[in-house]
Amino acid sequence: MEVPGLERRFRERGLRRTPQRVAVWSDFADHPGSTIREAAARLQRAGIGQATVYRAVRALEEAGLIVRFAAPHEEVRFAAVLDHAHLLVCERCGHVEPLQECGLRAYEAELARRSRFRVRGHTLIVYGLCPECQESP
């Protein structure tokens, strides 16, 4: 997968752009909301060892290239991000949709003022039932 900006982001962070890391990132981009285990299973078929997947996830997360999130009573899941991290997750089928704006910028600023935290970012997970899962019983 050709990802505009990815290369640059790797370089900026001093991460080596190995085929494995790109593959891990791409896998989460193609399958947002996967668990590490699911991703590792797919990537193993491409000859990528599971230790590498775990190591790549750590590196990518530290670089802010993927985010982790936990839907209620679910294993930790990941999704690729190039920008902000906002996800809409179906509780039933696990389908994940990335969201655009969340209108939290002002809230964040006010929060920083009131709490005296230095706010670095946020993760918002909205969960519910996707249209398909609303149908089936």
Partner DNA sequence: ATTGATGCAAATAATTTGCACCTTT
Partner DNA sequence: AAAGGTGCAAATTATTTGCATCAAT
Contact segment (CB under 7 A) with DNA among 52-60, 80-88, 99-107, 126-134 equals: 52-60
Q: Choose the one of DNA, a copy of itself, none that binds residue 102, judging by a C-beta under 5 to 8 angstroms depending on kind.
A: a copy of itself
Query: CA–CA separation, 21 vs 17, rounded Å?
Result: 7
Considering only CA atoms, which of 8, 7, 11, 42 is closest in space to residue 24?
42
Q: Which residue is listed with tokens 């997360």?
A: 61
Q: Which residue is listed with tokens 């590490």?
A: 36
Which tokens is 70 given?
A: 């936990």
**Minimum CB distance to a copy of itself, residue 107 (Å):** 5
Residue list for the binding site: 84, 90, 93, 122, 130, 133
Q: Which residues are annotated as a binding site for Fe cation?
A: 84, 122
Q: Which residues bind DNA (CB under 7 A)?
A: 10-11, 15-21, 36-37, 47-52, 54-56, 58-59, 76
